[in-house]
Amino acid sequence: MSTLNLSLSRRALAVAAAAFVAGTSLLSLPASAQAVKEGGTLVIGTGQAPRHLNGAVQSGIATALPSTQIFASPLRFDDKWNAQPYLAETWKLSEDGKSLTLNLRKNAVFHDGQPVTSADVAFSIMAIKANHPFSTMLAPVEKVDTPDAHTAVIRMSTPHPAIVLAMSPALCPILPKHIYGDGTDLKNHPRNSQNVVGSGPFKLTEFKPGQRIVLEKFDKFFLPGKPHLDKLIMTITPDSQTLVLGVERGDIQLVPYVSNAVDLKRMKANPNLQITDKGYEGIGSINWLAFNTAKKPLNDVNVRKAIATAIDKNFITKALMGGFATPADGPIVPSSPFAVPDVVKYPLDLKKSAEMLDAAGYKMGDGGERFKLTIDYLPGSDEQQKNVAEYLRSQLKKVGIAVEVRASADFPAWAKRIASHDFDMTMDNVFNWGDPVIGVHRTYLSTNIKPIIWTNTQSYSNPKVDQLLNDAGSIIDPVKRKAYYAAFEKIVTDEVPIVYINLTPYHTVANKKVGNVPQSIWGPASPLDDVFLK
Same domain, 244 and 313: no
Same domain, 59 and 139: yes
Same domain, 490 and 446: yes
How many angstroms from the chain centroid is the CA of residue 39?
Answer: 30
Q: Cβ distance 403 to 396 under 8 Å? A: yes
Query: Across residues 233-246, what is the average pLDDT?
Result: 91
pLDDT category, 34, cuts 50, 70, 90? Answer: low
Whether residue 25 lies inside any domain: the answer is no
Average pLDDT, the chain: 92
Same domain, 96 and 168: yes
At residue 33, the pLDDT reads 53
Q: Cβ distance 525 to 283 under 8 Å? A: yes
Quick: pLDDT tens for 141-191.
999 999 999 999 999 999 999 999 999 999 999 999 999 999 999 999 999
Closest CA to 72 of 89, 93, 47, 60: 89
SS3 content of the chain, % helix, strand, coil (to 5): 30, 25, 50
Same domain, 67 and 171: yes
Same domain, 251 and 299: no
The number of folded domains in the chain is 2
pLDDT category, 22, cuts 50, 70, 90? Answer: very low
Same domain, 318 and 417: yes
Length of the chain: 534
Whether residue 97 lies inside any domain: the answer is yes
Same domain, 499 and 512: no
At residue 367, the pLDDT reads 87
Closest CA to 159 of 101, 94, 102: 94
Whether residue 371 lies inside any domain: the answer is yes
Q: Cβ distance 169 to 522 under 8 Å? A: yes
Same domain, 238 and 298: no
CATH number of the structural domain spanning residue 60: 3.40.190.10
How many Å apart are CA 462 and CA 520, to the nearest integer?
36
Whether residue 151 lies inside any domain: the answer is yes
How many Å apart are CA 279 and CA 518, to the nearest integer?
7
CA geometry: angle at 238 spanning 292 and 284, to 5°?
Answer: 50
Same domain, 197 and 298: no
Note down the domain range covering 486.
285-503
Same domain, 382 and 454: yes
Whether residue 514 lies inside any domain: the answer is yes
Whether residue 303 lies inside any domain: the answer is yes
Closest CA to 116 of 149, 86, 94, 90: 149
Same domain, 316 and 443: yes
At residue 80, the pLDDT reads 93
CATH number of the structural domain spanning residue 343: 3.10.105.10
Whether residue 121 lies inside any domain: the answer is yes
Whether residue 8 lies inside any domain: the answer is yes
Quick: pLDDT tens for 383-435.
999 999 999 999 999 999 999 999 998 888 999 999 999 999 999 999 999 99
Quick: pLDDT tens for 40-79.
999 999 988 898 999 999 988 999 999 999 999 999 999 9
At residue 77, the pLDDT reads 97
Quick: pLDDT tens for 408-422.
988 889 999 999 999
- Long-range (24+ apart) CB contacts under 8 A made by 381-387 are 381/259, 381/260, 381/429, 383/259, 383/260, 383/261, 383/262, 383/320, 383/321, 384/259, 384/287, 384/321, 384/325, 384/427, 384/429, 384/502, 384/504, 385/287, 385/427, 385/429, 386/427, 387/320
